[in-house]
Structure 1
């Protein structure tokens, strides 16, 4: 028995010695200054973290176990580097996953997908590359869902085509619902990161070859009761976009449709006749948004990007259009200076803001129900913003 144990241990150590493994520390530190107009109580000058790319640090590990197969893990934290806090109070909110990959069979992962939730892969098809004023602004952040308790599979590339799918369990005894669920009348405050969330899933089809990148994504996120109750938080999303590289210029175009058939005024506001909204306006059940833009590599170190984004919500919520212009100068392979200017125009019943913001009125519109700290403009008003900063990657 001792001899068998010794042989087994020796073989195990030999296999471990032959396996190639590595661990990499990586991250972004991004800080800047910002000026924005159109808040309910005036204009604001602020110091901000993550206007170009959210500050973060993480660990990536890879172990080659032979036959073209490797084991991989990622642990990533998101940070506010202006005050040193961890985003959303969770140490590995960015992601915490482990999985395996093989060039012939594809890859799978298990864990908290966080900032790598399926729809967030679409950021490469945003002209502004998910800077602060980008394709997530007019859908109040719905382009950046957060999902946990999940499993993902991605196929190998077949002539430039890949398929990627995620399924995120609720860990609840009730199908679709979160754990715990929430009572009716609380859906407006119970969905979103850090609260009860039901089942989420999605699939992404991509073609990437010959300067052309095309993506089609379907994903859905349910609230704690398993419903599609808020078009900006718990909803279905259909996304299609593409980019094409033409010499020093890359052009972009995209479209997203959001639907939340279970959304209701009573479920969100606690009453079927909310005073927080303009007359004739109800909680939207559908939003359509689209964008076009182009990036020009003026020199190998200098980039200029312009883009227009538009969104239209039903139930009388009107529409908004955002115009953006940005520039970047690469000081090195790791460090860049950046700036972006944005102007957002709202129709008379829209109050979308450059900061995304929650649905509903400002304190100026509704002193009883309005949010005094809201960064949304008042209904029918626009916002102008500009920021600049420095970001370094490691």
Structure 2
């Protein structure tokens, strides 16, 4: 009888612990087809993963600590579901955090913030919700920034107002320097050249939401491994402000972003001194970009959403301007599955060569057609002054 009582007590404790804790497996898969023209080599038709949004899977959980507090964690991996490979540089490159949450005191997270870097919150004021042809396109992927080695605090919502702050350490003996290895342009940390590993980054977001209205302001900065703002599209300061207003079935979006990289230099981007640059006359690495957009989403039917938007960016130091027009739609097949499509047309001025590749396949610089010495043979960026057109369609399902 005594053994039965002990077993019952242990079972009750286990059941209580189970009730106070939870772990959720979640994810989504996005695959589709894409056609783009205006590439240096002509046009292409391809199968793509993640044109509407990156595929991923993850685990998140919480444990009730009492007094309204919870321990929380999240592990999330990005996937290329055309090849089975993982994205974002590592298995849990999107998120690997642990922290504490309390409805009255807010939420603290520590670890790899990954795709939670503050600039990615810009999807809130993007009419195309950060699809491939959207708010990150004309700034060559700057709004897709990621950050590790960090911590984040988010306040509770107070009268519609929420504030979020982030700080990401370089984990170096020098305050702003990166930790190890070459960066996106292959230059080592401490070399004094652009594109070395990411250094310290930080940011602050203020968001206010009320009935039918949302306002957002963000500041974030990402330094290179040398502690500098060396490339306006990679390591720079970003100031963003915008909002949405809802009128019945229509939601209107407007926004502005300014990027600044005062330490930008052609050195290390176009080779050593004496190697001719393929840039048009009078053009050098930009140190500032102004980016504006306007759009609207129309809930045409309960299952059908249509969005249209125009984005425009001006880069200094002779880099000209680019304008992109987009039209997209989604149709819900169920609560978890929808089909989608988007059309994008990007027009460049004479000294601009921004492409539809979001900065991944078309980073700043000349392509091989312009410069066989320092150009990027794999670049999908158009020639200077040329346009690009793209359309994609696919299916997304979540679990």
What TM bracket, shorter-length normalisation? over 0.9
DSSP 3-state at the match of 1:243 = strand
Please give the alpha-carbon distance, in whole angstroms, between the structure 2 residues aligned to 1:30 and 1:166.
29
> Is the 1:168–1:201 contact (alpha carbons within 8 Å) kept by the matching residues of 2?
yes
Distance 2:353 2:368 in 1: 12
Q: Is the 8 A contact 1:128 1:307 kept in 2?
A: yes
User: Structure 1 length normalisation: TM-score?
Assistant: 0.93
For normalisation by structure 2, the TM-score amounts to 0.92
1:28 touches 1:53 (CA, 8 Å); kept in 2? no
Who is 2:86 aligned against?
Answer: 86
Aligned 1:1-394 pairs, distance under 5 A: 17=17, 20-180=20-180, 182-184=189-191, 186-188=193-195, 190=196, 196-271=197-272, 274-356=276-358, 357-394=362-399
Q: CA deviation at 1:34?
A: 0.5
Contact preservation (8 Å) 1:117, 1:147:
yes
C-alpha deviation, 1:229, in angstroms: 0.4
* Preserved CA contact (<8 Å) 1:185 1:268: no
Q: Which residue of 1 aligns with 2:3?
A: none
- Structure 1, unaligned runs of 5 or more: 1-9, 191-195
* 8 Å Cα contact 1:136/1:143 also seen in 2: yes
Instruction: Give 3-state SS (helix, strand or coil) of 1:197's partner.
Output: coil
Query: For 2:395, what is the secondary structure of its paired residue?
Result: strand
Report if aligned partners of 1:27, 1:56 keep a CA contact under 8 Å in 2.
Answer: yes
* Alpha-carbon separation, structure 2, partners of 1:266 and 1:183: 15
SS at match of 1:392: strand
Distance 2:254 2:71 in 1: 36
Q: Is the CA contact (8 Å cut-off) linking 1:186 and 1:270 kept in structure 2?
A: no
Structure 1 residue 115: Cα displacement: 0.8
Whole-angstrom CA distance in 1 between matches of 2:69 and 2:16:
14
Cα offset for 1:231?
0.3
- Cα displacement string for residues 160-208 of structure 1 (whole angstroms, at most 9, x for unaligned residues): 01111000011110011112362546424x3xxxxx2100000000101
State the alpha-carbon separation in 1 of the partners of residues 165 and 40 from structure 2: 42
3-state DSSP class of the match of 1:116? coil
2:7 counterpart residue number: none
Report Cα offsets for 1:271-297 as digits up to 9, x if no partner.
467512111100000001010000000
CA contact (8 A) 2:194 2:265 kept: no
Unaligned runs of 5+ residues in structure 2 are 1-9, 181-187
Distance 1:382 1:65 in 2: 56
Deviation per residue, 1:325-363 (Å, 9 max, x gap): 001100001000100000000000000001122000111
Moved segments of 4+, more than 4 Å? 13-16
RMSD of aligned alpha carbons: 1.9
The residue aligned with 2:5 is none
2-structure distance, mates of 1:14, 1:29: 35
Tell me if the contact between 2:178 and 2:227 (Cα under 8 Å) persists in the aligned partners: yes
Q: How many pairs does the alignment contain?
A: 380
